Amino acid sequence: MGEPSRHLRIVALRRLREDHLEALKGIAEVDYFEELTETNRDAFLSALEKAHGLIGGKLALDEQMLSKAPKLEVVSTISVGYDHLPLAAMNRRGVLLCNTPDVLTETTADTAFALIMATQRRLVELANLVREGRWTQHIGREHFGTDVYGKTLGIVGAGRIGAAIARRGALGFDMRILYTASSPKPDLEKAIGARRRDLTQLLGEADIVCLVVPYQDSTHHLIDAKALGLMQPHAALINVARGNVVDEQALIDALDGGVIRAAGLDVFAQEPLAKDSPLAIMDNVVALPHIGSATHETRDAMAQRAVDNMIGALTGRGPVSAVNAESCRRAAGRTDKREEGTGGPGE
């Protein structure tokens, strides 16, 4: 005899497409919140108390909320990054965390390359000349940009997205590719001649440094005043990782003082970026409102993956992509042992 089917409950936090919502409703009762506001916060928390699954983007879940969600088995984030979630506490409680790698790789690499082009060729600054009626004579040296073609591109963190940026640089722009990674990437080296460097060497050699590392304790302010000082004065810094990988005040000082030439930023320590941040108005900065994966196609694919993850995980078929499956198995083992040792319900 199969297991009796469970009455499952899912909390969805993020505007979801109707078909995605319907798919979730096919396996569970869904409490749907398009966004979290002061007005619906209590309703959200009481739904979470009863939920087996939580799905959404930029999920506002902290350790305290987790402790008040005793039934929670699966968190399915509509993002590849999960630095906004309390992973250690989820591991301890055996809550499975699913994310959305792969489907956003190429789009995020496109965003990085858009920033590279914009920063090297001063696209925003010069487009504004036209827009504001200041294009009154032929462009002279003071408005010239810097080549992309043939330059050295340093990728800090050659994971999936880093490798996709590297391919664009090598194959599309004949760039020399340097990368940092915890282990060598022989495939990347063979395919496009990429060379592994330690961070210090890469910062000193690259014309364009592109940050694609996950945010964690070891990458907090990885690029500080000292690191910026190692870059060449004509170099540009591109960040599509997380804002706190860079010490923003040190970056502002470096851009102001000519330590580096320019920056292209999709991510910031505080998002949305404060209106009075110098990064919003500096001529040598291109600042984007965190659009790494923000295309119709990719955001739909991410939501679809998150829904598939949730349904797979809660129905026992298994998720497509999970972050902490091993920790959850260990947590389940600990629970089983405890039950054995103390005369749990199974005895």
Residue 8: partners with Cβ closer than 8 Å, 6 or more residues away: 27, 28, 29, 52, 53, 314
Residues between 133 and 162 with contacts to ligand 8YV, criterion CB under 6 A = none
**8 or 12, CB closer to ligand 8YV?**
12
The distance of closest approach from Cβ of residue 20 to ligand 8YV in the complex, given in angstroms and rounded to an integer, is 14
The distance of closest approach from Cβ of residue 204 to ligand 8YV in the complex, given in angstroms and rounded to an integer, is 28
Is the separation of the CB atoms in 10 and 309 below 8 Å?
Answer: no
Is the separation of the CB atoms in 8 and 28 below 8 Å?
Answer: yes
**Residue 94 touches ligand 8YV, criterion: CB under 6 A:** no
Residue among 54, 60, 58 at smallest CA distance from 24: 54
- Distance (Å, rounded) from C-alpha 261 to C-alpha 257? 9
Given candidates 219, 293, 304, 309, which one binds ligand 8YV under the rule CB under 6 A? 293
**Does the active-site annotation cover 290?**
yes
**Residue 57 touches ligand 8YV, criterion: CB under 6 A:** yes
Residue 169, judged by CB atoms within 10 A of its CB (0-12, 13-18, 19+), counts as buried
**Does the active-site annotation cover 220?**
no
**Does the active-site annotation cover 73?**
no
Which region, judged by CB under 6 A, interacts with ligand 8YV, from 74-82, 187-195, 256-264, 308-316?
A: 74-82
Given candidates 153, 290, 305, 331, which one binds ligand 8YV under the rule CB under 6 A? 290
Instruction: Provide φ and ψ at 75, rounded to 5°.
Output: -115, 120
Q: Which two tokens stand for residue 67?
A: 């402790």
Given candidates 53, 292, 312, 319, which one binds ligand 8YV under the rule CB under 6 A? 292
What residues line the site for ligand 8YV (CB under 6 A)? 57-58, 78-81, 104, 290, 292-293
Name the residues annotated as catalytic: 242, 271, 290
